[in-house]
Each structure stands twice: as structure tokens, then as C-alpha cells.
Amino acid sequence: MLKDITLGQYFPGDTVAHRLDPRTKILLVVLYIVALFCADSLLAYGILAAVLAVCVRISRVGIRALVRGLKPVVFIIVFTGLLNLFFTPGEHILAEWGFLHVTAEGARNALFMVLRIMLLIMGTFLMTYTTSPISLTDGLERLLNWMKKLHVPVHELAMIMSIALRFIPTLIEETDKIMSAQKARGADFESGGIIQKAKALIPILVPLFISAFRRADELAVAMECRCYHGDEGRTKLHVLQYEGRDYAALALGAVITAGIIALRQFL
């Protein structure tokens, strides 16, 4: 059951969306988020939705996978929608039940808020679906390289992130195994109140932590044996390089974002 958890799942492929430099994709997502927060008209949202649709089409990821990504946050979307719908003050009251009243402004806000969250999530998911976690980490490390001058341990953070990504499946598998082993000793994870359920987690968490520490220890030795000594003088198997398509994509992204901001002024 734990195996069903997906964290930024990557769908391998060989489309332009996959081949873009990870740095380009991260920057594009940033631009896209800026545009989303500047959008304040149906037209602007329409344009952004169309842009997303085109990107999804190019990436061949399939809209279904993206919609599936929305599932865990349905509650948040509905909650924010309702909050905006019922609690936005305004002049034009459309309907009223007791203390709840729906205004025209509320309806508009609710719609925009829901669109914004959905487009935001689908956009970022599209990036993680088309970029392997390791090249994403690589891209982030390179993009934030300038922060090393401020003594921010960029390389170390990137290393931590990629090792975490590497060990997530291993630890999930291990959790499954420990749960089965404790169930075989009659552990009960289902019944009882919250306190009892929390207590029932101890037989899982203690072995899991102990094993994680042991793994960390062994991994550290293995990394040392393979001559790891920080990023001093380190080279890379895959060197990131901007290509023509990256410049084109970034230029297009910048133009669209500028357009969305301009729309604000004119409408």
C-alpha cells in the first residue's frame, strides 16, 4: 500500500519537453508561476491554460496523469474555493443562506483561486514528470551556484537531496517489511483511538530509524571509499549546456509572462 505513494514521479521519454535543460524548465516554471499570480482576467487564465495544454501535448505525458496528481490536494482546492465563494465581501449578492452569502466578487475570486491552484500544480507536475529527479537536482545546483559565494552549501544540499531521492524507495520497501513483521507478531495498526494508533507506530518507527542510521553510516564509508571529498575539483558525467531550444523556450516564456502582466494594465 505504501508503494502507491509517488513523489514527483518521472515518466521517461524523448520529447522536446524531456530534452530541455533542467535549468530552463525550472526557470520556465518560475515564469509560469509569476504569470499565474499576475493573471486577473478570464482571458489571462485562458491563455495560461492553453499554454499548459500545448506543453502537455508536446510532452506526451497525458492529461490523465496530471489530473491524477491533483487528487491528493482536492480537499485544499475545494476548501479554498468554498472559502472564497462564501466569505468574499461584495456588493452584488447572488444568493443567501443565513450567515452565508455568495457575491459576484466571491464567485469570481473562487473561480480564479481554483484555476490558479490547479494550473500551478499541474504545471509543476509537468516539470517533475518530464525531468528525472537527478537532473532536476543538478539543474537546481547549477542555478544556485552563485549562492556558494554567500557560503550557502549548495553542493551539499544538492547531494543530500539526490541521496534522499535515491533512498525513498528503499525506505518505503523497508517500512512495508517492518510493518508485515510486526503484524506477524500481532501488532494492530487499525483499531483504537488516535493515541493508541500513534503508540502502535513505535514498533515501526524505532526499527526504521535505527536502520536509516545504519544505512547512513555504511553509505558514508562507501562514499569515502569512492573518493568523495566534497565538490572541490569535482567533474560531472553529464555537463549541462544550454542549446538553441533552451533560449527559444525561455524567450517564449518571457514574452507570454510579459503579455499576461500587460493584460493587467489594459483590462
180 binds another protein per the rule CB under 8 A: yes
206 binds another protein per the rule CB under 8 A: yes
The residue count for the chain? 267
C-alpha dihedral sign at 54, 59, 64, 66: negative
1 binds another protein per the rule CB under 8 A: no
Instruction: Give the whole-angstrom CA distance, residue 17 versus residue 29.
Output: 12
Residues 118-137 vs another protein: string with x where CB under 8 A? --------------xxx---
For another protein, the closer of residues 98 and 186 by Cβ is: 186
Residue 103: CB minimum distance to another protein, A: 46
Of 8, 81, 90, 203, the one binding another protein (CB under 8 A) is: 203
254 binds another protein per the rule CB under 8 A: no
182 binds another protein per the rule CB under 8 A: yes
Measured CA angle at 56 (ends 238, 51), to 5 deg: 110
> What does DSSP assign to residue 56?
H
Residue 187: CB minimum distance to another protein, A: 6
Instruction: Give the whole-angstrom CA distance, residue 223 versus residue 91.
Output: 65
Considering only the C-alpha atoms of the chain, give the largest distance between any 2 of them, rounded to a whole number of Å: 71
The residue type found at 146 is W
For another protein, the closer of residues 71 and 185 by Cβ is: 185
8 binds another protein per the rule CB under 8 A: no
Instruction: Give the whole-angstrom CA distance, residue 40 versus residue 18.
Output: 31
Residue 28: CB minimum distance to another protein, A: 23
End-to-end CA distance of the chain: 50
Of 148, 177, 245, 264, the one binding another protein (CB under 8 A) is: 177
Exposure class string for 127-153: b at 16+ Cβ within 10 A, else e? bbbbbbbbbbbbbbbbbeeeeeeeeee
Residue ranges in 214-253 that form contacts with another protein under rule CB under 8 A: 214-215, 218-219, 221-229, 233-239
Percentages helix, strand, coil for the chain, rounded to the nearest 5? 75, 5, 20
The footprint of another protein (CB under 8 A) covers: 12, 132-134, 162-163, 165-166, 169-170, 173-174, 177-178, 180-188, 202-203, 206-207, 210-211, 214-215, 218-219, 221-229, 233-239
